[in-house]
Amino acid sequence: MELKFKIAVLFMVLLVRVFSANFILAANPLDVVINEIAWMGTENSYNDEWIELYNNTGSSIILDGWILKAEDGTPKINLTGAIQAKSFYLLERTDDSTVPGITMDQKYTGALGNSGENLELYDNLENLLDSLSSSDGWFAGNNSDKLTMERINPLLSGNDPGNWTTSQNIGGTPKSQNTLVITQSQKELAPQPDPEILPEQTAPPSLEIVESTKEKPIIYPSGILINEIMPAPVGKDSEEEWIEFFNQNDFEVDLTGWQITDTIGSINAYTFPKDTKIGPKGFLMLSRPTTKITLNNDGDSLQLLQPNGSALDKMSYGKALRGESYNRTKTEWSWSSALTPGSVNIIPKAEDMQPKKKEPLVLSSEANLAAVGESFKSIQNTKTQRPLVSLCLFLIAFGLAIFSGIIILTLKKNLNLS
213-225 residue pLDDT tens: 445 667 888 899 9
CATH 2.60.40.1260 domain span(s) along the chain? 23-179, 224-353
- Model confidence pLDDT, tens digit, residues 9-56: 566 656 555 454 444 455 688 999 999 999 998 888 888 899 999 999
- Residues 362-405: tens digit of each pLDDT: 444 455 545 545 554 554 554 455 556 567 677 777 777 787 77
Is pLDDT at 106 greater than 50 in this prediction?
Answer: yes
pLDDT digits (tens, 9 = 90+) for 277-309: 999 999 999 999 999 999 999 999 999 999 988
pLDDT by residue (tens digit) across 44-73?
A: 888 889 999 999 999 999 999 999 999 989
Convert the chain into a string of H (helix), E (strand) and C (coil).
CHHHHHHHHHHHHHHHHHHHCCEECCCCCCCEEEEEEECCCCCCCCCCCEEEEEECCCCEEECCCCEEEECCCCCEEECCCEECCCCEEEEEECCCCCCCCCCCCEEECCCCCCCCCEEEEECCCCCEEEEEECCCCCCCCECCCCEEEEECCCCCCCCCHHHEEEEEEECCCCCCCCCCCCCHHHHHCCCCCCCCCCHHHCCCCCHHHHHCCCCCCCCCCCCEEEEEEECCCCCCHHHHCEEEEEECCCCCEECCCCEEEECCCCCCEEECCCCCEECCCCEEEEEHHHHCCCCCCCCEEEEEECCCCCEEEEEEECCCCCCCEEEECCCCEEEECCCCCCCCCCCCCHHHHCCCCCCCCCCCHHHHHHHHHHHHHHHHHHHHHHHHHHHHHHHHHHHHHHHHHHHHHHHHHHHHHC
- The residue with greater pLDDT, 334 or 98, is 334
Q: What is the mean pLDDT of the chain?
A: 80
> Looking at residue 185, what is its pLDDT?
45
**Confidence (pLDDT) at 105:** 93
What homologous superfamily is domain 23-179 in, according to CATH?
Lamin Tail domain (2.60.40.1260)
Name the pLDDT band for 204 (thresholds 50, 70, 90).
Answer: very low
pTM > 0.85: no
Question: Would you identify the CATH topology of the domain 224-353?
Answer: Immunoglobulin-like (2.60.40)
